[in-house]
Structure 1
Amino acid sequence: MLAETICSAVSAAGLGIAAVTAYRRRFVKAARIAAYALVPLGLVLTGVVEWLSGIVLSPTVWVGFGLLALAWALLTVTRAVERRGAGGSAKSSRAVGPGASAPALGGGATGASPTPRSAPAEDFSDIEAILKKHGI
């Protein structure tokens, strides 16, 4: 009831200011002030103000907002923890053991160290050829 009275008073004051502005022959500005002044009255008549005041003054609603904030904070914290701490341990737990990767590297079952690859040299030769082609 108090919120509706305040909104009605604000609308009445705004319409008064719009009337004074129109009296001074600033009609566009007066129309804009009148439009803003009618918004609180429209909110009162549609019931939005009553609905909002019911939400703001209800302790149950505030407990609900608090629980939503707590849930959001927990989700944010757990994501940050996963990105920082658990990310490294998750990668190490999924890593393949050294004995299993040796045959793929060419060491065979003997466990010998793999031979160095010459692929980077080929990559640089391609780059050198491109640079020579452009005169660099």
Structure 2
Amino acid sequence: MLAETICSAVSAAGLGIAALTAYRKRFLAATRIAAYALVPVALVMTGLVEWVSQIVFDPVVWAGFGLLGLAWLLLLVTRVVERRGLRAAVEPGAAGETRGGGRRRPVAPDASAPALGAGTAATGPKPASRRDAAPPADDFSDIEAILKKHGI
């Protein structure tokens, strides 16, 4: 009952403002204000205001929204944990298993092995100036091997 009274008062005030705007010869703005002013009364007449007020002031409905939020949060947390690969800490025995039940194998087992010999054979003979150069320092040997591999 209170919500309907408030909506009716808002509509009456809006129609009053629309009448003042029309008195100032701003008919387009007055029509727009009148249209907005009629919306609260229309919502009351359709019963939507009563339905919304029953939802807002019912504690069982809020408990339901709370449970929906908790369920959403739990699903979100499980997705984050699954994506980060923390299943081994949560589920025992899941560290080395796949869906098929077999052991996980690395995608490229030799990818971390240094490719010192592969790059030099494919590029051909080295220029004479590099052969005569002093051997590289231990600190930069990895970097120089990468550069040699790419022909730089």
TM-score range, shorter chain: 0.5 to 0.7
Percent of matched pairs sharing the same residue: 68
- 1:1-136 matched pairs, under 5 angstroms: 1-86=1-86, 92-93=96-97, 94-96=103-105
2:49 is aligned with what amino acid? Answer: V
Name the stretch that deviates more: 9-18 or 77-86. Answer: 77-86
Q: TM-score, normalised by structure 2?
A: 0.60
Please report how far the alpha carbon of residue 95 of structure 1 lies from its aligned counterpart in structure 2 after TM superposition.
Answer: 1.3
Unaligned runs of 5+ in 2: 98-102, 107-117, 124-152
Aligned residues between the structures: 107
1:85 is aligned with what amino acid? Answer: G
1:46 is aligned with what amino acid? Answer: T
Mapped partners of 1:44, 1:16: distance in 2: 19
Could you say which structure has the higher helix fraction? 1
Please report how far the alpha carbon of residue 87 of structure 1 lies from its aligned counterpart in structure 2 after TM superposition.
Answer: 6.7
Residue 25 of structure 2 aligns to a residue whose secondary structure is coil
Alignment RMSD: 3.0
1:68 is aligned with what amino acid? Answer: L
Mapped partners of 1:8, 1:44: distance in 2: 8
Mapped partners of 1:35, 1:96: distance in 2: 68
Please report how far the alpha carbon of residue 9 of structure 1 lies from its aligned counterpart in structure 2 after TM superposition.
Answer: 0.2
1:62 is aligned with what amino acid? Answer: W
Deviations 1:80-130 (A, max 9, x none): 011113478968434149xxxxxxxxxxxxxxxxxxxx7xx88x9xxxxxx
Mapped partners of 2:54, 2:32: distance in 1: 30
Mapped partners of 1:31, 1:76: distance in 2: 48
Unaligned runs of 5+ in 1: 98-117, 125-136
Mapped partners of 2:33, 2:12: distance in 1: 11
Deviations 1:7-28 (A, max 9, x none): 0000000000000000100000
Mapped partners of 2:83, 2:70: distance in 1: 20
Mapped partners of 1:74, 1:96: distance in 2: 31
2:104 is aligned with what amino acid? Answer: A
